[in-house]
Structure 1
Amino acid sequence: MAPDSPLLKNRWLANITLLAAGALQTLTFSPYEWWWLGPISIALILACTVSLPSEKLFRAGWLAGLGLFGSGASWVYISISHYGNTSVPLSILLTAVFVAGLSLFHGLAFWGWGKLAKDSKLRRLLLFPAIWILGDWLRGWLLTGFPWLYLGTAQVDGPLAGWAPLLGVHGVTLWVIALGMALYASAGLLRLKRPGPAAAALTAGLLPWLLGPALNSVAWTQLSAAPISVATMQGNVPQLIKWDPNHLKQQIVTYLGLTNQDWQQDLILWPETAIPLTQDQAGAIFEHIETNLGPNSTLITGIPWYGFSDRIEDFTFHNSIMALGNGEGMYHKQKLVPFGEYVPLQQWLRGLIGFFDLPMSEFSRGPAHQSPLIANNLRIMPYICYEVAYPDFVAINARTTDLLVTISNDGWFGDSIGPLQHLQIARMRALETGRYMVRGTNNGLTAIIDQKGQIATSIPQFTEATLRGEAYTARGNTPYMETGSWPVLTFAAILIVFVREREIPKTNQGPA
């Protein structure tokens, strides 16, 4: 086994390295896209933790998480401070609590790592990918989840992209971790002057990276021979006036004006809550749209919905998206953003500070297993904002559909890196499903993404503009759409079962 890392000789240096290693992962994502830093980050984390006493692993994991989320997710400060009517000191405190809370997932994963592997360096190394993958999955599921900043997402632009339609983002993350482990192991073996085993370890870690480009050339789905014409409108409505009744007419006029030359397009897309009225108040707007639409044209728009829900047996609001013209269907958002679209424990938090009373923060979750929207006989699966971050949710709901659509209002996060990360996540979902995705946003980035996760065309952020382009529909499902993340999660569970340190109960060997 490799000797202890020199980093462990200085506790403060090890702690700083853990923070820096977490922050390096942020640089793998948009807008930086230095995907090659992922394995280096993992190797540094291992160098600081493989030989660490078990009781110190929780803190080590928490520090690595703090580096990641402190650098990669602290953009929530903008929505808390600028749009939540919250003072700067309190906004900083709430952002710090958010980041520290997310980092607990890493801390708990590393704590479990120590419990399962005990002090065996070999077991720790072998169990590390299982611990990381299951920790990511838990973070994306518990308490509605925060499925953001998965290492595999950055590989939409890297050599591992070809694995995404087979294994999904968690499987791609697994290969990133495998190379990080190989880097750590080979460095240790070289210190022991064992170049042969070091080369073998590095070669094994690099193998999935070498196979990835070949896999990326495989067509898992069959695209249509002819494309459909698409136009999506980016109104760039300032967030501060979004729900102001005095600016309602201005917003509708903006979107109608942006659509004036595109009523004949096959698919027209307006972003999340482009119509800031509930569907029962927007009858006149619907009539105007229906009158102008071409006979084969469908307009899909985000709009709040209000009415009686049989599922919850009460009147409620939904964040929704609907099809008009030569199409039909209404979809209610299922994955709601905590505090932005609903307030947990609202009986205690409502009214406490401005952030807990954001506009339209009383939405209810939509029912599961909703039908796709129909547009000129095409089955279109919509995802509203945050929903596109959930890999299995997107893959399962995309089965047997022709095209994916996602709408968002990333104005909550200003000119931070958050909206750029959001676009990259949407690109990974298109790659995993082998489908074109049309993305419509209020202020960017509005784009058409092809079946390989690459941007076919887009328009800049913070501009009032119309994006025109083409999208191909798809038939068939990728392997990942059929299985979801279960193969990777099952592999992680099996690894834990067979590699973990097991205590053999002592038996009385004396005479009967």
Structure 2
Amino acid sequence: MNRLTTTPNQVPTRQIFRCVAAAAVLQWLSQPPLALAPVAAIAIVPWLMIISISNAPSRRGYWTIWGVGAIYWLVSLQGLRHAHPAIYVGWFALAAYLSVYGVLFVAITRRMIDRHIPIWIAAPVSWVGLECVRNYFATGISAIMLGHTMADVAMMTQIADTFGTYGVSFVLVSINVAAFTALNAWRRRNDESSSVHAPWVMSLLVAAILTVATLIYGTYRLGENRGDELATFALIQRSEHVEYVPDEEREIRIFNNYVRQSLQAVSAAQRDVDAIVWPESMLSGGRAWMIADKDATPPEQFGGSLDEFQLAIDYQQTSFLTRIQDVQQALAAASPDHKVPHLIGGCGVVRYRDIPHAYSGIVHVDSDGELADWYGKTHLVMLGEYVPLVQWIPGLQSILPPGLGLATGAGPKRMMVGETSFAPNICIETAVERVTVNHLSQLHAQSKLPDAVITVTNDGWFDDSSVIDHHLRCAQLVAVGCRRPVLSAANNGPTAWIDSNGKIVESLATGSDGAVIATPLKDPRISNYLFIGDWPARLLALISLILLVDAFGCWWRQRRARRSGAGPSSLGVRDEPLGTSET
């Protein structure tokens, strides 16, 4: 058995602090706002240094890992705090939660190596397995995955059409392991007392094979021809100030500003625009789209019969569509060929059943001024659109901003603009990769796979922070994973036309006013990811969780032994230097 070690003695907490702080800095540099992609090749090396210590970190050492990790996540996601003062609590809670994954990565990887699993297997498996857990636990979050560092390196991201962002992360961790084991071997090259050496040859070989295969596959995929042009969409962006507290006057003013921006877009466009896309909630303009089932229960404040309530809903729908039709006619007049465009936009939807259900929605009005369809958001933002257990905590509802009680939509939909089909998507649904992938997978199973994904979002909550850039990178990897162009219309950003290879064709600067005129290409390719899903990553997650239970069991036994005076107590303790096998 070969050994990989830095020191056989108990490591001081300050050394752990230096390592995890270095990892935090390198990971931050590799992601927006600086986005230094090459740094990702060594960003995990300091974590591997902690893992390579012969004796496990002490309890204080693990608390140090958690604490520095929390600071990293607070800095990386600091844009969240701009949304509302109450979100500060969620911001701190999210950082505290996400920092646990660093602790788990160290503990699980050490336990794998204790079980004689080579580090070039253990580290990628545990890292990607934990990324998968993060994408599911507590509704999930995909932002700032390691694979997102390669969002603008298209040759490295094309494997996402088979393995998702997880595959890119796996390759990057393997590269880090090769760098670490080579560095460790170089440091110990003159250590004549050591009869064995680090498994740097195998680590380097594995990393080289994975990297070369990734680049070859990426080159092949990028060289493939795509199909004909689809419909032309005008993606409208403004930097409108947003607030939680509803204000009809402000919403009407924002609506009118988006009308003016749309008029400028169609009049300046070099070709006919088939559809205008407005960001999340911008189409409401003080009016939600309302629906009443035949057996709906009128709200108490209405005070009339069911028939009268149905008439009131019909009047509201007519009023809503009349305003949209007026906008469409103005857009047609401004268009060179006077073509009436479809209008697609984020809009509140209220559906009356036994009780009213409010949705964050997308409303699609066709060129005839009629409602073509609407979509209700299926993946809500925890602490932004709903609060878990709020009804069970006395007094909590009274201090929360309004709008934190939305209903979940029925499922994915396919909408049409002429001959072009698209799947609507709202905000976080591209920031949690599995949501959009599952949507398209379900539509494909129904023989309704769309030509594109249209996502609307309102990132005005986050000012000009890097949270907007993280959101854009999620959308880029989603485009590759689904092999469909993603068209994003956002208030404040990110507004972008992303092709089916994940490349940004055109985008607007954060905080600017303008429009992207997008004519995406039809992609005949069907992503393997839609068939496979994230099952490979789930398998790695299962392995990681099993090893976590195993590590906890080992710690528990050692704790009992310490209490009886038989030995030390430390999570993942190793009696000899860290061992890995070449084979």
TM-score (norm 2): 0.76
Gap regions ≥5 residues in structure 1: 504-512
What displacement does 1:415 show?
1.5
Counterpart residue number, 1:151: 146
Moved more, 194-203 or 447-456: 194-203
Per the alignment, residue 24 of structure 2 pairs with 22
Give yes or no for contact 2:245–2:402 (8 Å, CA) kept in 1. Answer: no
CA contact (8 A) 1:320 1:333 kept: yes
Does structure 1 conserve the Cα–Cα contact (< 8 Å) formed by 2:329 and 2:340? Answer: no
1:321 alignment partner AA: I
Mapped to 2, the partners of 1:241 and 1:64 lie a distance apart of 32
Whole-Å separation in 2 of the counterparts to 1:54 and 1:127: 18
Residue from 353, 361, 364 that aligns with 1:320 = 361
Match of 2:173 in 1: 177
Compute the displacement of 1:242 (Å).
8.0
Q: Summarize deviations over 1:205-224 as a string: whole Å, max 9, x none.
A: 13322333322233488633
Could you tell me how far 1:125 is from its partner in structure 2? 6.0
Which residue does the alignment assign to 2:254?
251
Match of 1:366 in 2: 409
1:223-277 deviation per Cα after TM superposition (whole angstroms, max 9, x unaligned): 3323432211113211149832222321221122122252951221100001233
Structure number with larger C-alpha Rg: 2
Instruction: Say which SS state the counterpart of residue 167 (structure 1) adopts.
Output: helix
Q: 1:274 aligns with which of 250, 259, 282?
A: 282
Question: How well do the aligned residues superpose, as a CA RMSD in angstroms?
Answer: 3.3
Identity, % of aligned pairs? 20
Extract unaligned runs of 5+ from structure 2. 190-195, 291-315, 333-337, 554-583
Contact (CA 8 Å) 1:133, 1:489: kept in 2 or not? no
Q: Which residue of 2 is the match for residue 49 of structure 1?
A: 51
- Partners of 2:430 and 2:474 within 8 A in 1: yes
SS where residue 471 of structure 1 aligns? coil
Q: What pairs with 1:177-216 in structure 2 (closer than 5 Å)?
A: 177-193=173-189, 198-216=200-218
Contact 1:153 1:169 in 2 (8 A): yes
Matched, 1:377 2:379: no
**Cross-structure match for 1:510:** none
Alignment partners' CA distance in 2, 1:381 and 1:5: 55
Q: CA deviation at 1:302?
A: 0.5
Q: Pairwise mapping of residues 364-443 of structure 1 onto structure 2 (< 5 A)? A: 364-368=407-411, 370-398=412-440, 399=444, 400-443=449-492
- 1:472-511 mapped onto 2 (5 Å cutoff): 472-490=521-539, 493=542
Partner of 1:467: 516
Among residues 391, 398, 406, which one is paired with 1:347 in the alignment? Answer: 391
Shift in Å, 1:59: 3.5
Q: CA deviation at 1:414?
A: 0.8
Higher mean C-alpha displacement, 170-179 vs 283-292? 283-292
| 8 Å CA contact retained: 1:117, 1:500 | no
- What letter is aligned with 1:146? I
Residue pair 1:22, 1:68 contacting (<8 A) in 2 also: yes
AA in 1 matched with 2:410: P
| Structure 1 residues 379 and 6: alpha-carbon distance in aligned structure 2, compared to 1, 3 A threshold | farther
1: CA distance, partners of 2:357 / 2:508:
35
Q: Is the 8 A contact 1:123 1:500 kept in 2?
A: no
Inter-partner Cα distance in structure 2 for 1:2 and 1:120: 14
Quote the offset at 1:144 in angstroms. 0.9
Matched AA of 2:481: E
Map of 1:131 onto structure 2: 126
Is 1:445 the counterpart of 2:494? The answer is yes
- Residue 375 of structure 1 aligns with an amino acid whose one-letter code is V
Whichever residue aligns with residue 489 of structure 2, its letter is G
**Is 1:284 matched with 2:316?**
no
Measure how far apart 1:178 and its partner are: 1.1
Bigger Cα displacement from structure 2, 188-197 vs 371-380: 188-197
Once the two structures are TM-superposed, the CA of residue 289 in structure 1 deviates from its matched residue by 3.9
Aligned residue among 59, 62, 69 for 1:65: 69
Change (3 A) 1:226 1:374: closer
Q: Deviations over 1:346-391 (max 9, x none)?
A: 225686498x5234222111123x3222221322012101110122
Shift of 1:483: 0.8
Structure number with higher relative contact order (C-alpha < 8 Å, ≥ 6 residues apart): 2
Q: Confirm whether residue 231 of structure 1 aligns to residue 234 of structure 2.
A: yes
3-state DSSP of counterpart to 1:273 = coil
Are 2:281 and 2:346, in contact at CA under 8 Å, matched by a contact in 1?
yes
Q: How many residues matched?
A: 490
CA contact (8 A) 1:61 1:108 kept: no
Conserved? CA contact 2:328–2:340, under 8 Å: no
Moved more, 60-69 or 171-180: 60-69
Partner of 2:161: helix, strand, or coil?
helix
Q: CA deviation at 1:199?
A: 4.4
Name the SS for the 1:36 alignment partner. helix
Distance 1:468 1:359, change over 3 A: farther
Normalising by the residue count of structure 1, what TM-score does the alignment of the two structures yield? 0.85
